């Protein structure tokens, strides 16, 4: 008789990881030694940072650091609870009031992260008998939020308002009719740096009585008046885009998600969002730094201006070298390479030359659309950008791409 060995209940942990490694799909973590700044030290090497979301350089801004230190002195290291019980500090209320003023909205609500905002709010806005209509390239946190909802879902072609209209029209033929329709899109798409046609999306949604939810993680601090984001960029009104979601982890330089809109929306979210209700609130240092970030945006307009002048300079420079920058309209500038292996090699060679920019390869983008994704930063100097352009030229020629 053959004695069966007991099955190893955790054997999949290693085998699945090893499979990722053999397909070169595992993340190799680099170590940032010191602050995220234009010239920083990564894995012991001095590099020019071209892949951080710290668009305005605020993560290391003296006013944010000072505010964080001060808040630790006055309010301690942690908040002690979730917001609805005992963790709602005066600082949290100040941040939400300041953010609502900045966004020119009736009210705002701050979540622990942008991911928590999407996964906590989306499933509450659409339930059984409702429909969520989503851009095919929306961010993973939107996709997870949609998965938590009992609503039905439909996808429209990337940034294609006509296709959105087609999807909604088809949905309206359903009987019984959907009670609510929620249209969701990223504001700026992080792989290509293109901007959603939010004005057309809002018009189509309005024609069909649908809600609009925009995730502006990459648009705020970047687009619109003084970096107020995509709703400001298109000069839309609050009743056209009912839910404006964003994050403090990118241009604002700290961490935290947020939602702005009507007082009704915020009252609803305060009472329904499970991520907000059931997870501890931000520590004082984080909240104070976020408040300071908004103040910096309001009083130091040069950061947004520098970001755009760097963006125009670098994009033109890359294009003049003969590279394709795809659909980029924002500080996210993909340098199209094509083959995944070549993109990885390109990134490794850049790093040797002191330029830190990561390859984006399959399965994140289509197999023949691998790229080096560069992200501009307000604090980079023209000297930094010229050095980066020289490296792109050298390696592009070396690999026969230009
Ligand atoms: C980064 C990002 C998020 C997540 O935000 P965090 O605050 O970092 O959790 C959500 N949506 C989009 C489009 C993002 O790019």
Probe ligand 1: pick from 215, 247, 290, 293, max atoms within 8 Å of CB? Answer: 247
- Boundary-marking domain end, from 299, 329, 358: 299
Cα(79)–Cα(81) distance, integer angstroms: 6
Cα 300 → chain centroid? 23
d(CA 51, ligand 1 centre) in Å? 15
- Boundary-marking domain end, from 299, 317, 338: 299
Q: How far is CA 87 from CA 71, 96, 108, in A?
A: 15, 15, 17
Do 135 and 226 belong together in one domain?
yes
pLDDT at 318: 98
Do 196 and 165 belong together in one domain?
yes
- CATH number, domain with residue 47: 3.90.1150.10
Contact of 132 with 152, CB cutoff 8 Å: yes
d(CA 226, ligand 1 centre) in Å? 21
Tell which residue, 233, 272, 291, has the closest CA to residue 66.
291
Paired residues of 261 in beta bridges: 107
Length of the chain: 402
pLDDT at 1: 59
Contact of 390 with 355, CB cutoff 8 Å: no
How is residue 230 annotated by DSSP? H
Cα(338)–Cα(395) distance, integer angstroms: 15
Do 234 and 313 belong together in one domain?
no
Q: What is the domain extent for residue 371? A: 24-53+301-398
pLDDT at 299: 98
- CATH number, domain with residue 293: 3.40.640.10
257 lines ligand 1 (CB under 6 A): yes
Probe ligand 1: pick from 53, 191, 195, 215, max atoms within 8 Å of CB? Answer: 215
Contact of 36 with 254, CB cutoff 8 Å: no
Record the tokens describing residue 23, joined without a space. Answer: 């397909």
Probe ligand 1: pick from 115, 116, 187, max atoms within 8 Å of CB? Answer: 115
Residue with tokens 């009987």: 175
Closest C-alpha residue for ligand 1 atom 10:
114
Paired residues of 221 in beta bridges: none
d(CA 143, ligand 1 centre) in Å? 12
Paired residues of 243 in beta bridges: 213
Per-residue pLDDT of the chain (402 residues; tens, 9 = 90+): 567 777 889 999 999 999 999 988 888 899 999 999 999 999 999 999 999 999 999 999 999 999 999 999 999 999 999 999 999 999 999 999 999 999 999 999 999 999 999 999 999 999 999 999 999 999 999 999 999 999 999 999 999 999 999 999 999 999 899 999 999 999 999 999 999 999 999 999 999 999 999 999 999 999 999 999 999 999 999 999 999 999 999 999 999 999 999 999 999 999 999 999 999 999 999 999 999 999 999 999 999 999 999 999 999 999 999 999 999 999 999 999 999 999 999 999 999 999 999 999 988 888 899 999 999 999 999 999 999 999 999 999 999 999
Whether 10 maps to a domain, the answer reads no
How many structural domains comprise the chain? 2
Do 42 and 104 belong together in one domain?
no
Beta strand pairing status for 107-111 and 257-261?
A: antiparallel
Which residues are tagged catalytic? 190, 218, 250
Tell which residue, 384, 383, 382, 315, has the closest CA to residue 356.
384
d(CA 220, ligand 1 centre) in Å? 12
Do 187 and 307 belong together in one domain?
no
249 lines ligand 1 (CB under 6 A): yes
Closest C-alpha residue for ligand 1 atom 7:
114
């Amino acid at each position: 008789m053959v004695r069966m060995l007991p099955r190893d209940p955790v054997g999949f942990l290693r085998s699945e990881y090893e499979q990722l490694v053999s397909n070169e799909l595992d993340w190799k973590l680099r170590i940032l030694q010191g602050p995220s700044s234009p010239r920083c030290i990564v894995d012991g090497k001095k590099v020019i940072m071209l892949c951080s979301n710290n668009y305005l350089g605020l993560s290391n801004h003296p006013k944010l650091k000072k505010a964080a230190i001060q808040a630790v002195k006055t309010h301690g290291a942690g908040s002690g609870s979730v917001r609805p019980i005992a963790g709602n500090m005066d600082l949290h209320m100040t941040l939400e009031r300041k953010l609502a003023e900045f966004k020119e909205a009736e009210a705002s609500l701050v979540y622990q992260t942008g991911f928590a905002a999407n996964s906590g709010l989306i499933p509450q806005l659409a339930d059984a008998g409702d429909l969520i209509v989503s851009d095919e390239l929306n961010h993973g946190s939107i996709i997870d939020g949609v998965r938590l909802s009992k609503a039905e879902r439909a996808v429209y072609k990337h940034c294609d308002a006509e296709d959105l209209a087609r999807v909604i029209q088809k949905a309206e033929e359903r009987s019984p009719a959907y009670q609510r329709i929620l249209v969701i899109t990223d504001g700026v798409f992080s792989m290509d740096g293109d901007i959603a046609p939010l004005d057309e999306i809002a018009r189509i949604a309005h024609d069909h009585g649908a809600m609009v939810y925009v995730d502006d993680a990459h648009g705020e601090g970047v687009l619109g008046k003084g970096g107020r984001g995509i709703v400001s960029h298109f000069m839309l009104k609050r009743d056209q885009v009912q839910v404006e979601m964003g994050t403090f982890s990118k241009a604002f330089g700290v961490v935290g998600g947020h939602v702005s809109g009507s007082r009704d929306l915020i009252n609803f979210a305060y009472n329904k969002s499970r991520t907000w209700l059931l997870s501890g609130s931000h520590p004082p240092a984080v909240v104070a730094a976020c408040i300071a970030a908004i103040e910096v945006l309001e009083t130091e307009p040069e950061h947004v201006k520098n970001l755009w002048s760097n963006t125009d300079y670098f994009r033109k420079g890359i294009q003049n070298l003969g590279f394709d920058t795809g659909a980029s309209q924002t500080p996210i500038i993909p340098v199209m390479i094509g083959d995944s292996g070549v993109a990885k090699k390109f990134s490794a060679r850049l790093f040797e030359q002191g330029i830190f920019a990561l390859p984006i390869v399959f399965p994140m983008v289509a197999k023949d659309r691998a790229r080096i994704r560069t992200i501009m930063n307000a604090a980079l100097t023209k000297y930094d950008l010229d050095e980066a352009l020289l490296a792109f030229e050298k390696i592009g020629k070396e690999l026969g791409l230009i």
